[in-house]
Chain A
Amino acid sequence: MRKALGRRTALRSMAAVLVAALTLGAAACSDDEPAGSSAAEAGPEGVDDGSELTMWTRAPLEKQAKLLVEAYNASHQNKVNLTVVPNDDYVAKVGAAAGADGLPDLFAADIVYVPNWVNQGLFQDISANINGLAFKDSINKGHLSAGTVDGKAHVLPFVLDLSMLFWNKQLFKEAGLDPEKAPATLQEYATAAKAVQAMKKEGVYGTAAGLNCGGCLVFTWFPSIWAGGGEVLSEDGKEAKLADDTAQQVYRTWNDLWKSGAVLPASEGETGPTWTAAFTEGKVGLMFYPATLLSSTPFDVGVAGIPGPDGGASTFVGGDGIGVSKDSKKAAQAWNFLNWMMSEQAQVEVLAKNKDVVSRSDLASNKYAAEDPRLVTINEVAGKGDTPVALNFQQAFNAPGSPWLTLIRNQVLTGSGDLQKDNGEITAVLQQ
């Protein structure tokens, strides 16, 4: 009897533990309103009272983020603790933290994900503070509008990353090309790549691309379509226009380049981690390349906007936006960082000094840009660039196995596939 009782109690207590654990788990998932002071109440400067702030960013922008954080920590009482997360893990980490209400005070997001994340309520509304900035109208429009929902701004540009045409002047010289003149059309680009390839130099290739990396291809090939007067998405971001004439011309040029053998063979399987490595090591003639890497490219490079099939120039205004997370209890202190980040001090003395693009157009012609004509070029092209906005951007383009990758690989690597059908697949994902 006693034994049976004992067993029953034991079972009962186990069940109780289970139920308790489950309710706890369920409670952890329910929503809580963020407590603590809001950014708007703290005034235009925010609060600098020696608080510890946490901040996350993804690895590709590590250099810029570190410079900004170091400069801020050196001049303020608040201390920002920066965590750098590998690119591929960033969404998973943010998602897990968002579900557990454990987001850091500040976090940056790839600008193409920002519309979705703002919609999901991951960022606090800071429009009152942004509207208070005297230079509001000169803040990069693409980034600002990506983070604006129902007229409320949630995100400021953190680091602007533009895709530009980079060429290795040394290799151009060796191949008999003019090292000071950029290829003006996509056709000239292909001709230059073939010329570099024709030298048959050990380990040197004409050009390279991340052909198994949806994000890289969006970043480097959309501008060709824009420069040619085409569009990639409809206004509302629900329909893909990647089967239009301009896009087809771009695919044809790359298909021709690939068949001619002037593209680094590793490009075929390149999923992203090393897509710029070969150029940085001086083994590729010319390439569409991120402007953030200008300061870490050790040799003499030329820089120009990305040309379309018949000329023109454009760029993908990528990079990361940053905002105050829904879970932050130190919004006033976090705004202090954001306010400083947009100041001339940070934009010019930290970003421009490191040969990065400033996110305020009124500071585009600063003293560092004047020293390096390439920065002037980048800043000029930045004004002609674009940032596509779509809710399901990640799934349609960036994800491994995305329909965009299928389209590109069919068009460029095999030169087969039904373009209209592949484009329809992208639209189907965008509309989900």
Chain B
Amino acid sequence: MPPRKPSLDRSPAPEKRKVLMTVTAPSRPPSAAMRGHARRRGRRGLLGWLYATPTAVFVGALFVVPLLLVVKMSLSRWPLLTGDQGINVPDNFTKAVDHRFFTDSVVFTVKYTVLATVLLLALGLGLALLVQESSRWNSLLRASFLIPSALGLASASLLFYVLYSPYASPLAPVMESLGFTFLGSPTAALLSTTFLIVWRYAGFYMVLMLVGLQGIPADVYEAARSDGASRWQTFTKVTLPLLRPTLALTTVLCVTGSLLAFEQFYILTKGGPDNSTITVVQLIYMVAFQGQNDLGVAAALSVIVLLALIVMNALQLRAFRTEER
């Protein structure tokens, strides 16, 4: 332990601030700190703003401005090729909701999200429990579960595009003899894409779960064991409740990610077969760039999705918080 630390802990609050001040401004004599109390607070406020500025600029330029632009687009007639043609509230929103794929895409996205979230969380937790103890084989297992996460989603999708192709795939003979293709029917396409996502993300969720599991103190388990709890009881009464913050985080991540699914379907199925796998984001892309070429309607869809996501995330966080107390 460094020798300076105990004295710092024991020192009264102003003293501590002085130490901090000398860290930020070493040349400043300690007596000046006492005299210019008000000025210092003003300076600190300014300093705070200064520190926050880079983030604020980034958030402003990369998030707030584009967001306002999207909102403006959603309220205007805005074809892709000619640009802004003036306000037309609320045409874009009625057109977006009346789009012939709107309901289908919402239903499909929700279906996909439920499937992906259940599979990923269950598998992530299962894998984490499996490799929790560190031994030589487990670290090998951990690494191999995590490796797919190093691959970009688009690259992974391309890899599976070839793997699933009845023409170029090494599995082509199997498909031919079984008379079945991975992307040929709506159900097969959904399951095949979900498999890709599980393969790609299971390792990532395993790592998140592992961090959560390792945050649970060992003595709680010890106490449970000395109380004679069975393994199942330990899992449901100790592990799961204490894992709740991690579960909240992973659920939010997984649900949000799945609702915004795009690349995998864009590359693997293009919304097919027979328009059965169109996600909401894909619909936005289609409206904007593939045919309708209407940025206004696409922006209206984006705003709807954004609002839905905000509501859903708020609900999820609240659900996990109230149960915690």
Which residues of chain A have a CB within 8 Å of any CB of chain B?
A: 2-3, 6-7, 10, 14, 17-18, 21-22, 25-26, 29-31, 91-92, 94-96, 98-99, 116-117, 120-122, 212, 264-266, 268-269, 271, 274, 277-278, 392, 394-396, 398-402, 406, 409
Contacts and interface: CB of A to CB of B under 8 A. Distances in A.
Contacts of B275: 401, 406
Given A21-B65, A264-B167, A394 B49 contact: no
Given A10-B49, A18-B60, A91-B289, A401 B181 contact: no
Q: SS class of chain A's interface: helix, strand, loop or mixed?
A: helix
B271 A401 contact: yes
B79 interface: yes
Contact of A265 (B68, B80, B166, B286): B166
B274 interface: yes
Contacts of A3: 41-42, 45
Given A7-B45, A7-B49, A120 B82 contact: yes
B166 A266 contact: yes
What are the 4 tightest A-B residue pairs by CB atom distance, in nearest-first order?
A399-B291, A395-B291, A95-B80, A92-B289
A14 B270 contact: no
Given A120-B82, A265-B166, 6 more contacts: A92-B288, A265-B181, A400-B272, A400-B286, A401-B101, A401-B278
A3, A122, A277 interface centre (most CB from chain B within 10 Å): A3
Contacts of B291: 392, 394-396, 398-399, 402
A6 B45 contact: yes
21 contacts: A3-B41, A3-B45, A6-B42, A14-B56, A17-B57, A18-B64, A18-B65, A31-B83, A92-B288, A95-B293, A96-B80, A98-B80, A98-B83, A99-B83, A120-B82, A121-B82, A212-B270, A212-B273, A264-B167, A395-B292, A409-B273
Contacts of B68: 18, 22
B79 A120 contact: yes
A104 to B, nearest CB: 15
A95 B181 contact: no
Contacts of A264: 167
A401 B286 contact: yes
A400 B283 CA distance: 10
A122 B79 CA distance: 13
A122 to B, nearest CB: 6
Given A95-B289, A95-B293, A121-B82, A212 B272 contact: yes
A266 B167 contact: yes
Contact of B274 (A26, A30, A409): A409
A354 B108 CA distance: 47
B270 A271 contact: yes
Contacts of B271: 400-401
B290 A394 contact: yes
B15 interface: no
Nearest to B69: A25
Nearest to B61: A21
B272 A269 contact: yes
Interface in B65-81: 65, 68-69, 79-81
B176 interface: yes
A321 B56 CA distance: 47
A10 B46 CA distance: 9
Contact of B65 (A22, A29, A400): A22
A274 B166 CA distance: 12
A122 B82 CA distance: 9
Contact of A29 (B84, B101, B278): B84
B61 to A, nearest CB: 7
B184 interface: yes
B61, B166, B288, B289 interface centre (most CB from chain A within 10 Å): B289
A25 B65 contact: yes
B306 to A, nearest CB: 19
A264 B288 CA distance: 33
Nearest to A90: B289
A213 to B, nearest CB: 9
A7, A25, A269, A409 interface centre (most CB from chain B within 10 Å): A269
B299 interface: no
Contact of A399 (B81, B83, B290): B290
B207 to A, nearest CB: 34
A21 B83 CA distance: 18
B165 interface: yes
Nearest to A1: B42
A22 B176 CA distance: 57
A288 to B, nearest CB: 18
B304 to A, nearest CB: 19
A92 B41 CA distance: 52
A201 to B, nearest CB: 13
B167 A278 contact: yes
